[in-house]
Structure formats: C-alpha cells, structure tokens
Chain A
C-alpha cells in the first residue's frame, strides 16, 4: 500500500477539492486545470502532473467527474473533464469540511 499517495505538497485530499472547484467553471482538460490552479493561486500552487493525473483518475473512479475527448484551443485532441452531480455534492461536503479544518487551524494558531 502507500504506492498511490501523491507527493505531500498539499494537505491530503485538498487537491481533489481544488480540482472539483476548478471544474465548477465548466469542462476543462488536465493542463487547463493545472494552469488555472497556478494562476488563481498566483503561482503558489504548482501542481505536478504526477499528482494531478492520479487525482483525476481517483475522481473518475468515484464518479465525481467524467471525461470526454474534445479539441483543445490549439486544435489538439484533449481530454475534457466535467463535474458530475455526485461531484457537485462531494465538492459541497468537502468544502464544508475544509472550512471547518481551516477555521480550527486558525484558532489554534491564534491562541
């Protein structure tokens, strides 16, 4: 076991949350997701592919996203990921959980 854990550059599970949030904007390919995370976090979150693609596979396995082939902006074949209904629910739940966690951490740090 332990073979599949992503490099610990993020809190475990956070990447899934971020990917789901990103996909809320609409279908996006893997590179697009990485770019979005990078730009919106102002280059703080540099997601390596070795953790992004396993995360996407994990989301596929749990039926939180679905994947379809389409044409990218420069007309190459790319795989676009779309949020499913289950994914939306998951996002809501994870977000709540995450907020609780962050709040808790803040409280500890502020004490």
Chain B
C-alpha cells in the first residue's frame, strides 16, 4: 500500500517526463504500425491514416494511461476535501464552535508540552556536549524519600578517584544580597568548585570562568555573572570584567559573564557564580556554612560531571556506587544507593518531583479537556454521518467501496483537526509566555518558543484525536443495513450503538471532575481567608533588616540585637521581639529531635523557630503552661514546644520540665507550652519547637512589633540605620503579608477555574450537538406532538429525556471521580472537607443549567418547525 503510494507520488512529481515518455511511446507504436501497413503494400499516406485509425483516439489513450496513476486518486482526495469543507460549512455555527473548542484544547495541550519541553526535555544549553554531562546523587532513606546531593568530603573523594568521569564538579545554592538590593531582596547564587566552568564547558559571553585554585580558602574573591544579571543590574557594561561588586557586603571582582543560553544544570536560573570556599566569608554567622566543607555527614552539594569518552551512565553509576560505599564505610555512615541521571530539570531530585506532580495533574486536566473536545468532534461527525445514512446506504448498495466511504468521512475529521491544529499552534505560541510572565511573574528563563517538536506534537495529537473520533462514526455509518439505510432511517442504528450517549456521559463526567476540583480549590481559598492564624495579624508588623552579612559574625549579630533592643525599649516601641523565620515569610528551618527513650535511629525532622523573649506576647500567642524565655536562660538548653508537640509526646499534660534530644544532640528542657498557631506556615498545623535566639545564632533575624503605625515604623528604621548605616530596613504590616499570601494562593484555583469553565463550555457545546441531533432525528414526532397541541415545555422535556440517562450517568461517574481527585487536593483545602456540599452542589446546578440551555436551543428550533412539513419529512 505504502509502496504503491510512493510510486504514485513519484510519478506525480515527474509527471512531465512521464507524459513525454508516454507520448513518445505512442508515437513509436504508430510509426511501427504504419511501417507494417506499408510493408503489406499500402501507400504511405493511406498507411499513416490507417495507422491512426487503428490507434483509436490518441488523446483518449493518453488520458486513460494517465488516469491509472493520478486521476482517481488525487482527484478523489481533492473531492473528499472539497466535499468535507462544503458539508462542514452547512452547519457553520456548530462547526466553528467545535473547531474553536478543539483548537483551544489542542493549544492548551501544546502549551503545556512547550513548557515541559522548555524546562524538562531540552538538554542543558550553553555548554559543551550536554549529552555526556550527568548528575550524581544519593537515594535518601525511606523515611525522607527522594534523592539528595552528597556531602562535600564525599564529593572530594569521588572526584579524586573516579575514572568514569573526566571531571566532577560540586555546587551549592545560596541566596545573597547584591549591593543595590533592598532588604528582603536576594539573588540566587551558585557556589561552585573552581573546575566548574572547565568541566561543563560553559560558553562565556565575556571574560573567563574560575581557574584552578580559586576555590581554595583565602584565594581572591572572584565572581562570574549570568547574562541576565549583567544586563539588568549592570546595564550590559562592556567593561564589566575587572569591575568590583559588593555581595553580602564583601567586594568581589567580576572575572566573566556566561553566555545567554547557560542557566546552570539545575534548570532554575542562577544569577551569579562564586567559588564554594566563599561560603563562610559570605555567612560568618552560619556555623553550618563554615563546617560543611569538612563534615562528611552534612548535606550537601549537587554533583555534576562529564562522562569519560568510553563511559556510560550505567558504568559511571556502578563505579561511583563502589567508591561511595567505600567512603561511607570509612566515615561510619550507612551505605546508600547512588543515582546517575541526566541534566534535565525533571531528572528526579526532590523539589523537582513535586514540579513533576503538578505538571502531571495539570497535564491530566488538560488532556481530559482535549478528550471532551474530541468527543465533541466525534459527536458532530457521528450526527452528520447519521444524517447521511440514506445517502451512504444508496452508495453502498450501488457497489461503492466501503473503504472509500470511510475515507471520505475520515477526511472530514482530518479537515477539522487540521484547522484546529492551526488554532492550537497559535494558542501555544502565545499562552505560555503570557502565563509564566504575567501571571506567575517568572521572567523567561527558558526557551519557550514552540519549535518543530511542539508542532509535531500538536499535529500528532490532532491526527490521533481525528482518527480516534472520526473513525468510529465512519465505521458505524457504513455498517448499517442497506435496506433501512436507503429509507433514511437512522433509528435502526441508535439502539445498537450507544456511542453518542457514551461520549456525552464522558463529557459530563470530565466536566464534573474539573469543575468540582476548581470549586473545591476556590472554596479552599475562601476557607484560608477565614482561617484563624492563631496569632495577631492586625496589630503587628514585621521589619526585615538587611545588613552586609559578611560583616556580621555571631558576636556582632548578638551585640547589634542587644543595641537595637535597648534603643527600641527607650523609644517605647510596643511588644517587640526577634524571630529567625518571619511569620508568613518564605523561609522555614528544621532540626532533628528524639525522645530520651528513643534511639538515634528514631530521630525525626521537626520545624523550629528561634525567638527572643517577648515573641509570644508580641504575636499574642497564648502560653498554656510554663513560661516564656527569660534573660536568665542564657547558657541553658531550654525549649518551648507547641501544644500539638506536647500533646503528642506527653499526653498526660506534664510536658513542662521534661527533656528530649534536639538540635545538636544535646538534651533540652521544656520550659513552656504555647498554643498551636500558623506562625510557621499557613498549611496544616504540625508540631513546632521554639529555641531561644541568643543560644542559636543564625543570619540576622527579623523583628516583629505590635504596631501598624507609620510613625512606629519610621522610629524603628531610624534607630536601626543610626546603629548600622549600611543597614536597609523594610517594614510591612502582617495583614499585608497575609493578603499577599492569599493572592498567591488564589492563582492555582483561578487557573483551575478557567480550565473548569472551559470544560463546561466544551461540554455544553457537546450537549447542544447531541440534543440537536436528537431533535433532527425526531422531527416528525415533534411535529405530530406540536400538531396535537404540545407546548415548548413538553418538547424540551422530550429532548432532555432522549439523553437524560447519559447525563445522569456522567454526573454520577464524574462525582465519584471528583471525590477521588479531592483526596489529592486535601492539602490545598485549608481544613475544608473534601466532600464540601457547596462545591458539589454548585457543580451539579451548573451542569443541570447547562443541560437545560443545551436542550432549549435545538428545542426552540424544533418548535418553529411547521407541523405539516415535519409530517412530510420522509
């Protein structure tokens, strides 16, 4: 079949040669004939005429010969396409509706594919030979799940001994402050080993990468900028190389700018690269930063490497596994499994698995919408095929090839899906940059232009959807028994073939799932709005104080806090305290804890805040037992626990005075129990520890105070800036932070609602199609009923009854699906029941309304039918 097609096409392409050949051949034939006649003794002139006569009509011979190749085929395809377009134009409203709906659904699908392709599938850009770059990570113990990087000493060991990699690099993300950034703003920095640029073969726009030795302690402070940062922050200064920039208050010399394409192996865009050894200098107040380069049990650096020419990922994995086992045995750590992966964004690290899950859910939703859009087109074609049962029956009985008729019906689907693909590609070109840019606020870090893969993908799903949804109606329509078909009676098909009803039920069910999910998410946001955070939101503000971090070690941080405290007391600022992670901020800290009765292996991770005395009073969080921290706690290992923490571990209510292992493995005594609150996050409440800030130094904490007055804010800013001229202060009322958070929270439900609304529209269009079909099929019956005095309501009831079972089944199945989906959404519901009756009720109402509207439109048309004409319909 394919070979024949190929020969046809070949022939068609060379048609001029072929024509000439045929002409020459026939002329030759004529000449031979003439010669033969002459040989038999006929005069030359007569012989030519006789030869001509014997030939018959040369042009017809020509035509016939040519027809074998092209005509029936090309001509019939053209005919099919013309016929398809013509017959689609006969139902302009429904055709264009289905087309737009299918186009948008395809566009949504292609958009998502564009994003996934841009983020996840495309190999790392801006480096030499990305195919031989691989990441190395370790599988976490079952309790933690996912994978993580390796400790720096383990990396160093592997880098020294590996033969499967020609080079291994280590990197670590840290947020830093550039000189001109305000308090609370930060820039993503990537702290890397000096071989980073060489091993990855990073293309540079200007200057150089790091050279050997620049990651040694005490070496010169150098930085490489991203192309983006160079443009936005330094106005693409051509003399950037050699210029000094202040990072966390330390001067760094810019030695290079990477090429525009390079965003780093993490996929997430980093903006400045610094040597890994700069970590303790940038954060003198962070004991972890100072120690991690030497401690084999600390987590961790991201390890990436260049595979040796003879090596593969499997081989590298095996080798690294052996080395890792050796290293971990030598440092008394449990062995763990090593994973060697690609550089794509979604190659299995933890946060990225989450992104994968979100994309997966989104993909499912969008595919479902595509599915119902396709079901629409299927129904359209089915209805049309049924309307043409008579015609098709006649053609079949006259001996028409069934394959030929199926092909013609498929052509209609093909024409529809080709047009829809056009719309879809337009949508996918415009939508992703818009959504990422305007809605999610992400500057375009990735290449999001639909490329040929996206086009191919769109085309492929369009063709698939066409075949899937046009083939069934086509086969169906040509299967009917010829005798009843000729009579134009489609009803014989109906009972045997509930395809139309099934498609309708699917549409309804999918709409229910999507709409219910959207409804639940929206209600979840409303729920979050009335959620009691458990602390005072309206009378409290947060001051974020930015100081050059490199200049603040633990001692200076402490004395600065003391100075601020006494100045604020003197200025009579009400209810203030310091806290490590600001309420409603984006940072949280975790530590390990275990009870005295538990072994070290049973240690678990728990969230904590380090606070200064007065924190609970400032936020009006009730102290249920015991007391707040006091100055005399200095030097003691004391801790305050949240109510849920106390209840879980000391159910007898005697938590105060108990002790457990926490933080740095020392025994901590509980001095107080406070009420549960959302101070560490608005998600579900989980057990929480509070450490005294003085004993747990960290980067400069935030300041909370019990006032929203501008004058108080100004006083605080003035005090801080007098004590540290380089400090920058940013003060926001907690209420504003809460509103911000709610605003961000509403984005996902809004997107879900848009998708749900679209699904509803698609389903309504589908229902209109099915109901119109039902009306057309029963025109005669309706005519009789109207003639006998039936009113509009009766007709609508009749139309609705024709498909009510499908709609009801769809509602039921959809509700079950929605209950399943709601379990997944539970965490985003903020305490709302996943079976929230309002959300479910609203969706059922919406679909019922849609069904009414969808039946009303064709029913009204049916009512206008002249009964006399309707009766004469056959």
Residues of A within 8 A of B (CB): 1, 3-4, 6, 29-31, 34, 48-51, 53-54, 56-58, 60-63, 72, 74, 76-79
Known contacts A48-B56, A53-B22; decide if A61 and B65 are in contact (CB<8 Å). Answer: no
Chain B contact surface mostly: helix
* B29 interface residue (CB < 8 Å to A): yes
C-alpha spacing A53/B26, complex, angstroms: 8
User: Which residue of B3, B26, B56, B64 has the most chain A CB atoms within 10 A of its CB atom?
Assistant: B64
Residue among A50, A53, A58 making CB contact with B57, cutoff 8 Å: A50
* B78 interface residue (CB < 8 Å to A): no
In the assembled complex, 13 residue pairs joining A and B whose CB atoms fall closer than 8 Å, in A order, are A3-B67, A4-B67, A4-B68, A29-B25, A29-B28, A50-B55, A53-B22, A53-B25, A53-B61, A53-B64, A61-B8, A74-B35, A79-B25
A57 touches B69 (CB 8 A): yes
Q: How far is the CB of A13 from chain B (nearest CB, A)?
A: 14
C-alpha spacing A79/B28, complex, angstroms: 9
Complex contacts, A77 vs chain B, CB 8 Å: 24, 28
8 new A-B pairs (CB below 8 Å) besides A4-B71, A74-B32? A3-B64, A4-B68, A30-B28, A48-B54, A50-B61, A57-B68, A58-B68, A78-B28
A50 touches B64 (CB 8 A): yes
B22 touches A63 (CB 8 A): no
Which residue of chain B is the closest to A51 with respect to CB atoms? B64
* B72 interface residue (CB < 8 Å to A): yes
Count of B interface residues, CB-CB < 8 Å: 34
Known contacts A3-B72, A62-B4; decide if A76 and B31 are in contact (CB<8 Å). Answer: yes
Known contacts A4-B72, A49-B56, A76-B31; decide if A61 and B7 are in contact (CB<8 Å). Answer: yes
User: Which residue of B60, B61, B65 has the most chain A CB atoms within 10 A of its CB atom?
Assistant: B65
B64 touches A4 (CB 8 A): yes
A49 touches B69 (CB 8 A): no
Q: How far is the CB of A87 from chain B (nearest CB, A)?
A: 14
Which residue of chain B is the closest to A50 with respect to CB atoms? B61
Complex contacts, A62 vs chain B, CB 8 Å: 4
Known contacts A53-B61, A53-B65; decide if A61 and B28 are in contact (CB<8 Å). Answer: no
Q: How far is the CB of A60 from chain B (nearest CB, A)?
A: 8
Within 8 A of A (CB), among B1-52: 3-4, 7-8, 11, 21-22, 24-26, 28-29, 31-33, 35
* B66 interface residue (CB < 8 Å to A): yes
C-alpha spacing A72/B60, complex, angstroms: 25
C-alpha spacing A51/B22, complex, angstroms: 13
C-alpha spacing A76/B28, complex, angstroms: 8
Known contacts A50-B56, A50-B60; decide if A57 and B66 are in contact (CB<8 Å). Answer: yes
C-alpha spacing A11/B62, complex, angstroms: 22
A31 touches B29 (CB 8 A): yes
Complex contacts, A56 vs chain B, CB 8 Å: 65
Which residue of chain B is the closest to A74 with respect to CB atoms? B35
Mask: chain B, 307-320; 1 = CB below 8 Å from A; 0 = not: 00000000000000
Mask: chain B, 54-91; 1 = CB below 8 Å from A; 0 = not: 11111011111111110110001000000000000000
Chain A to chain B: the 3 pairs with minimum beta-carbon distance, closest first: A50-B61, A57-B68, A4-B67
C-alpha spacing A77/B58, complex, angstroms: 19
User: Which residue of B58, B61, B66, B68 has the most chain A CB atoms within 10 A of its CB atom?
Assistant: B68
Q: How far is the CB of A85 from chain B (nearest CB, A)?
A: 14
A1 touches B72 (CB 8 A): yes
B29 touches A30 (CB 8 A): yes
Which residue of chain B is the closest to A48 with respect to CB atoms? B56
Complex contacts, B71 vs chain A, CB 8 Å: 3-4
A31 touches B33 (CB 8 A): yes
Known contacts A4-B72, A62-B4; decide if A54 and B29 are in contact (CB<8 Å). Answer: no
C-alpha spacing A100/B29, complex, angstroms: 34
Which residue of chain A is the closest to B67 with respect to CB atoms? A4
B21 touches A31 (CB 8 A): no
B68 touches A49 (CB 8 A): no
Within 8 A of A (CB), among B391-419: none
Which residue of chain B is the closest to A69 with respect to CB atoms? B21
C-alpha spacing A61/B67, complex, angstroms: 11
Within 8 A of A (CB), among B584-602: none
A63 touches B25 (CB 8 A): no
Complex contacts, A51 vs chain B, CB 8 Å: 64
Known contacts A53-B26, A77-B24; decide if A6 and B7 are in contact (CB<8 Å). Answer: no
Complex contacts, B8 vs chain A, CB 8 Å: 61
C-alpha spacing A48/B26, complex, angstroms: 11
Which residue of chain A is the closest to B25 with respect to CB atoms? A79
C-alpha spacing A54/B76, complex, angstroms: 19
C-alpha spacing A103/B33, complex, angstroms: 36
Complex contacts, A49 vs chain B, CB 8 Å: 26, 29, 55-56, 58, 61
Q: How far is the CB of B37 from chain A (nearest CB, A)?
A: 13
Complex contacts, A3 vs chain B, CB 8 Å: 63-64, 67, 71-72
Which residue of chain B is the closest to A5 with respect to CB atoms? B64
User: Which residue of A4, A6, A62, A78 has the most chain B CB atoms within 10 A of its CB atom?
Assistant: A4
Q: How far is the CB of A7 from chain B (nearest CB, A)?
A: 9
C-alpha spacing A26/B31, complex, angstroms: 22
Q: How far is the CB of B342 from chain A (nearest CB, A)?
A: 45
C-alpha spacing A71/B223, complex, angstroms: 80
Complex contacts, A54 vs chain B, CB 8 Å: 61, 64-65, 67-68
Complex contacts, A48 vs chain B, CB 8 Å: 54-56, 61
Complex contacts, A4 vs chain B, CB 8 Å: 64, 67-68, 71-72
C-alpha spacing A29/B3, complex, angstroms: 25
